[in-house]
Structure 1
Amino acid sequence: MILGVGLLCAGCGQVADAQAKLVENLRIKTAISDYEQAVRSGPPLDRCVKAKMVAIAYSDAKDVADGQAWAAREREDCQAAAAALHVVPPSRTAGP
């Protein structure tokens, strides 16, 4: 009986891993879709925020390369948003 239960649950970890991967992929696709919508019809600040959400989704999925690419896009979009809002970001120099 115990052996039967053990064999039945042997694939449970693989199923859970597959389900987690599907959820991660859905989060990434949704975040990218939201970003594309912001590019088409949103203000620059929306692009900044949505790019951050894509970068986070890739980071959560442990996709380093795409996460870094989206982090770079986020920086560009956020700089554009700051310029559009006439905001001067703080300098990144070391303190005293």
Structure 2
Amino acid sequence: MLTKLVPLEEELLKKRALLWGVPIAARPMHSDQLMTGFLVIEILNIGLLVREWEKREELVSVSTIKNAVRKLMASEESDMFRKIAEEVGEAVM
């Protein structure tokens, strides 16, 4: 599924968080990052948005980053993110 959406070289793909089943904290700032963030959050449901696109030029506070990481690592949603990310990673392999 993912390889059809984002064709990547195998060597490059090995370095991606998705391949290893790691949930993603997205902070789109320019170019294709908005679409990648949409893919990660809305389509694959394997991560969360740290900062909205409209606020991309603003600094992100430490507490905002801390809350996003905490939500990805130690919340009720974190298990879901990790499980789906692992499934996507296995599908990409």
More helix by share: 1
More strand by share: 2
Larger relative contact order, structure 1 or 2 (CA cutoff 8 Å, min sep 6): 2
Q: TM-score, normalised by structure 2?
A: 0.29
